[in-house]
Amino acid sequence: MEYKQYQVVFRVEGGEETVIFAAFGESLLEAAKKANVAIDAPCSGMGTCGKCRVKLLSGEVEAEGNRHISWGEYAEGYRLACASRVISELHVLIPQAARTYQDRIKVSGKGAIRERRIFKMLQDELQAMGFWKDSGLELVKVHLKKPDLDDPMADRERLLRALAEQRGGSSPGLSLYALSKLPGVLREADFSCTCVIRREADKRDTVLNIFPAPVPGAPVSGAGAEPVTAGFAIDIGTTTVSILMVDLQTGELLTSGSAGNGQIRYGADVISRIIESARPGGLERMRTGILAECIEPLVQRMCGLTGISPDNIYRVAVAANTTMTHFFMGVPAEHLRLEPYVPAFFETGPFRAVDLGLSVHPAAEVVIAPGIGSYVGGDISAGIFSSMIFKKESLSLFIDLGTNGELALGNSQFLMACACSAGPAFEGGDISCGMRATDGAIEACHVNTDSMEPAIIVIGEIGQKPVGLCGSGLIDLIGELFRCGIINARGKIIREGKRIYRDEWGIPSYVVVFAEDSENGRAISLSEADIDNFIRAKGAIFSAIRTMLAVLDLPVEAIDNVYVAGGIGGGINMKNAIRIGMFPNLGVKKYHYIGNSSMLGAYAMLSSRRACAMVGDISRGMTYLELSSHPGYMDEFVAACFLPHTDGALFKEHE
């Protein structure tokens, strides 16, 4: 084949242009990846998800027909990046819609932190357990004798001597960072200073930072202000990376932020990312997707917003699933996808920020939530801590609806956990109009039985137009469509009307929002393919619950409480979740939505060293059930791929 390179200009809608060169026959998605131009590709370029829609402004590509692009749209220049091969110079427009995962780096002020109520509950729990303000940091003011020719002792020795006298015990060590500030700081405030000291469990305490102490009569600005000690709780999800900034002296939330996981361009599921990570430089690309593309900019913006510089961040707690934890640390994860699915580690750390390339205080302690099994990671051990089910006498079921579904069943006596590959449906993946629970997401809806007209609730400011459906919205919509008899037990659309649209192949979908009412001028609709994907997701969850109960030989009624976690929306309409057979039919009162429990657990680990230790105990004490190797699971799954279930008796209405 002739070797040719063509110039390709990517223009992000309402954004910058990037010019690169692509080889003849190279796919647009590949070319964009090389240029680090973000285009969503949850199906990692298989042409199945339809997320990577781009519009040709000039030039031509060799494109395969695809159900995601109508004939009309094709004529307008719309193509799927993954299914388009470069055969000429190109000018390509990337619509915002193709960047819903990527584009949203959001930082919200103190007031705007979601789930504040849930945080308050956890803070109360921590206080009750005596785990409050237990980050191991202390502020110490000290006044030094000034040096002269008769006492030319060096600054470091002078400081440590004074600290030992004042605090008693052996003199602490001095971090290189603090040492490099020492000469300047001491002379700025006449040899009076405030030290940020970390108490160490097994070695000398460490002076992490040093500030000029207030000089009597000096202006309070600059020298004299009380130093702030802050920390980050980081939840690294397969789809979303979320960070909380916390004042470690008060436990107060300072700000929160979130960003789409930059790895999304390598696929929505962990498997395709593990495969990519094994390619040359792949592991580094995975790290970049988390660190450089999410954590780094979030840290910068959150520090900018609060006016607290990154070197005042002394502690970081990270909770993530097993794969993401591996990638975050730059540890190969290939073997996670190969039998016997063994991770490189369950527990690890604590590390220091410099080890992991985090641009906070270089000696900041970084604690990492320990994993339980190949596909039950630190996000679950942290989440289970925040759910507090390990303290209860009564039997609780814990469900985390992330990109995968993880479950735990138990009480203060025992805990069993398992993971089921529900896929990314709950976070909007594999659903043509699916999206994360951010601005523009439909998070709840009601459908009128007769008119089939929907009423929707959209995340965002007043007047925010809808963009797509997030997890909670999907559950609601499918529940409503089923209730109204618009879809049958197989998820097939069985009614007609102006809300029912059939494409050129005759495949029907239910239109939730017409093109003219949506944010980006594209109709928001749910196709039978989408419904089918969702039914398999909810079936995976339900059959996992059934299998765990069977393994433990417990009836479903034995479950006293169900804690549902996951950043899938403001909340879940449990009535509809039960109606579609996603959760057991226990009556809504037993269900509690606890939001992003992984993030809550990370917050607990950030605030308290004892909480860290207890999360470790939880992970070590947990029994891991490998569903894939469990005979009964497949039958349960097949039976659960109906609305609500092949065995209708399981879902007879009550209450």
What residues from 34 to 63 belong to the interface with a copy of itself (CB under 8 A)? 34, 62
Shortest reach from residue 642's CB to a copy of itself, in Å: 31
Binding mask 385-424 for a copy of itself (x = CB under 8 A): ----------------------------------------
Residue 37 corresponds to which tokens in the numbers above?
């131009």
Binding mask 195-214 for a copy of itself (x = CB under 8 A): -------xxx----------
Q: Looking at residues 74 to 113 of the shown chain, list those that interact with a copy of itself (rule: CB under 8 A).
A: 74, 85, 87
Residue 421 corresponds to which tokens in the numbers above?
């590959």
For position 30 contacting a copy of itself by CB under 8 A, the verdict is no
Q: Looking at residues 607 to 646 of the shown chain, list those that interact with a copy of itself (rule: CB under 8 A).
A: 624, 626, 629
User: Which of these segments, 92-100, 136-144, 340-348, 382-390, binds a copy of itself (CB under 8 A)?
Assistant: 340-348
Contacts of 202-205 spanning 24+ positions with Cβ under 8 A? 203/173, 204/170, 204/171, 204/172, 204/173, 205/172, 205/173
Q: Give the count of alpha carbons within 13 A of 649, CB side only.
A: 1
For position 460 contacting a copy of itself by CB under 8 A, the verdict is no
Strands 90-94, 5-12: pairing kind: parallel
> How many whole angstroms separate alpha carbon 187 and alpha carbon 144?
11
Q: Which of 239, 306, 374, 561 binds a copy of itself (CB under 8 A)?
A: 374
**Residue with Cβ nearer a copy of itself (159 or 233):** 159
Q: Looking at residues 532 to 551 of the shown chain, list those that interact with a copy of itself (rule: CB under 8 A).
A: none
Shortest reach from residue 630's CB to a copy of itself, in Å: 11
Q: Looking at residues 243 to 282 of the shown chain, list those that interact with a copy of itself (rule: CB under 8 A).
A: 278, 280-282
Helices vs strands, H then E, count in the chain = 17, 30
Shortest reach from residue 19's CB to a copy of itself, in Å: 10
For position 337 contacting a copy of itself by CB under 8 A, the verdict is no
User: Which of these segments, 120-128, 206-214, 350-358, 395-403, binds a copy of itself (CB under 8 A)?
Assistant: 350-358
Q: Which of 15, 17, 58, 65 binds a copy of itself (CB under 8 A)?
A: 65
Q: Which of 536, 176, 218 is nearest to 354 (CA)?
A: 176
**Residue with Cβ nearer a copy of itself (169 or 281):** 281
Shortest reach from residue 431's CB to a copy of itself, in Å: 32
Q: Looking at residues 158 to 187 of the shown chain, list those that interact with a copy of itself (rule: CB under 8 A).
A: 174, 176, 179-180, 182-184, 187
Q: Which of 18, 249, 348, 359 binds a copy of itself (CB under 8 A)?
A: 348
Query: Left, alpha or beta for 191 (phi > 0: left; psi -120 to 50: alpha)?
Result: left
**Residue with Cβ nearer a copy of itself (148 or 653):** 148
Is the distance from CB of 105 to CB of 296 less than 8 angstroms? no
Is the distance from CB of 361 to CB of 310 less than 8 angstroms? yes
Coil vs helix vs strand at 233: strand
User: Which of these segments, 110-118, 148-156, 513-521, 643-651, binds a copy of itself (CB under 8 A)?
Assistant: 148-156
What residues contact residue 255 under an 8 Å CB cut-off, 6+ apart? 107, 108, 109, 110, 113, 244, 245, 302, 305, 306
Over its C-alpha atoms, the chain yields an Rg (Å, rounded) of 27
For position 317 contacting a copy of itself by CB under 8 A, the verdict is no
Per-residue H/E/C for 512-576: EECHHHCCCCCCEEEEHHHHHHHHHHHHHHHHHHHHHHHHHCCCHHHCCEEEEECCCCCCCCHHH
Cis peptide before 584 (omega within 30 of 0): no
**Residue with Cβ nearer a copy of itself (176 or 649):** 176
Shortest reach from residue 22's CB to a copy of itself, in Å: 8
Tell me which H or E stretch contains 56. strand 53-58
Is the distance from CB of 269 to CB of 403 less than 8 angstroms? yes
**Residue with Cβ nearer a copy of itself (157 or 496):** 157
**Residue with Cβ nearer a copy of itself (629 or 646):** 629
